[in-house]
Structure 1
């Protein structure tokens, strides 16, 4: 995690995919019409950027499956404009482009590039999960990577792709043979799988043996939950893409920084362990409330959040209150406020 960028040095003026914390940004909607609330979206992207958390637009937390192609484009354009205007022109945008078919996924990759995204993340197609053999899954990512104008992150999320769960052998094979793949997000939560993949792609010789098509886009191994950021540092993973970073961006970014620092300075480890515990407990509790619960917490914290797009329903007021008062959530909020200077 600390410096393991597989040989990417970047180029002047170019955005680089580097280790760190990424947040799948929620898509906010007007309460009566369900139209995009781009003002709140832009404000949230900038809020997270100030905490050194990078945006992933139109991902699972962003309800991508409920968005039209035009809405995806509008979100990417809004995020890019907001970042540029706030002085974060060097911060990259990752856009979710995975859909049911290979053809439409490739189409969305091109649309994301035209809208201003820098990298894309592609979930395994799961509607016909029972018919997708290992060969079909391999062919899907090979073709998408080959045809996408942007480097592609593989998104392994069995819960949203019909139970399909890519194993470490297939992911490692894809990393070795597809130069336009730039990483994997493991929302399977399998730390053993993460360790096995890192044992190959985080080795010093990997970049020379398997160079990337874009040298600014090394192959990163990213967790999908906040509860193993510290352990993953010690197997040379590269951070995480986590919904919790929407609620507690400073705490998540600080945990990543401490985890990286602990590799070289064991004296930082106790503080990293303490914060990991706070973040892990908060993640465990908030994740059970899903998208609606995260949005409800954002409403409490920042004054925007709103409801998901139907058929998802908002969290009932009593459940929101119980979530807010939960000791794990209050502990996380206190840590976040202390780190960002707000008591």
Structure 2
């Protein structure tokens, strides 16, 4: 029987953390931890060993090393409530179960599992459902379904299948949709938040309800405002953690009777986020690392065979108006956060 996580799964925003490497392609744990903590301080929780984290190129030992280091770093920074979602999907059901157990022991609160695309042609609806149900039933932590056709050999699960998977195991705690299908997101949310679903298919862990999360930043406002998304896991969160947290929590605030945020401001932020997201989707993992290297002083390259980001493309990315306009918002909010922290410390004395 899966054990209860000590941290609740609540709507919010997460960033899939890159795995940083040194010149010998060994994992750079200190840089990884520092980046993870910096994002969590901006209310951007970490997803470790996901697609952005080059999990396919990591050993199980490296994955658990990163999870342990992240938990230790977050706790030491006073971020004990920051939840860790860890990628545990590998080729086989047996392997995914084993990795989920290792991730739980290392300090992960939740697992996110992608189906293997190696035998995509042999994985029909029945096989996919059984895969997720078997992994979830054996996992000591709740499991999130990861639908990303681009990283799963083209496997694109529809809303009916994902809802069926959710009904198949009470230890399934949500889905991340990196397919960009808003209609799918809407249908899944409607089904899994209904009174009938909650009555007939209660979650095993009451602290881990079923959440529907987007995989991009470009449609957060309309889906959150419509009550159809519980947040997102976004690669863009590595670059703009403060701005995207502002977009999510400000959008959610608009649903209150007396919102502090304005629709006009959230609409402006959404427009800027959508433009920046499009630029970084094209840049990919290597481009994101290049940008971090140039603007933050760390990032480095990917583990081969992913090649370094070309310098000519990097120069264009740094000059891209879409990137820089949203960065103006990020820098302003980051400065405000630092100022509040300093003032708070001063007032404490």
The TM-score bracket by the shorter chain reads over 0.9
1:217 aligns with 2:208: yes
Supply the distance in 2 between the matched residues of 1:202 and 1:261 (Cα, whole angstroms): 19
Query: 1:285 maps to what in 2?
Result: 279
Supply the distance in 2 between the matched residues of 1:21 and 1:165 (Cα, whole angstroms): 23
Query: 1:330 maps to what in 2?
Result: 324
Deviations 1:138-159 (A, max 9, x none): 1111111111111000000000
1:169 aligns with 2:160: yes
Supply the distance in 1 between the matched residues of 2:254 and 2:194 (Cα, whole angstroms): 19
Equivalent residue in structure 2 for 1:251, among 233, 243, 265 = 243
Equivalent residue in structure 2 for 1:98, among 79, 89, 102 = 89
1:130 Cα deviation after fit: 0.6
1:272 Cα deviation after fit: 0.8
Deviations 1:43-62 (A, max 9, x none): 00110011001000000000
1:199–1:235 contact (8 Å) kept in structure 2:
no
1:204 Cα deviation after fit: 4.6
Pairing 1:1-343 to 2, within 5 Å after superposition: 14-31=6-23, 33-233=24-224, 234-264=226-256, 268-341=262-335
Deviations 1:281-328 (A, max 9, x none): 000011101000000111122111000000001111221111010000
Runs (5+) with no aligned partner, structure 2: 339-349
Deviations 1:96-154 (A, max 9, x none): 00011111011100110111111000002211011111111111111111111110000
Supply the distance in 2 between the matched residues of 1:222 and 1:132 (Cα, whole angstroms): 24
Supply the distance in 2 between the matched residues of 1:304 and 1:245 (Cα, whole angstroms): 16
1:202–1:236 contact (8 Å) kept in structure 2:
no
Supply the distance in 1 between the matched residues of 2:153 and 2:33 (Cα, whole angstroms): 32
Structure-2-length-normalised TM-score: 0.92
Structure-1-length-normalised TM-score: 0.94
Give aligned pairs, total: 331
Query: 2:342 maps to what in 1?
Result: none
Query: 2:347 maps to what in 1?
Result: none
Deviations 1:221-264 (A, max 9, x none): 00001001111111331000000000000011000011101223
2:185–2:228 contact (8 Å) kept in structure 1:
no
Runs (5+) with no aligned partner, structure 1: 1-10
1:230–1:259 contact (8 Å) kept in structure 2:
yes
Secondary structure, counterpart of 2:255 in structure 1: helix
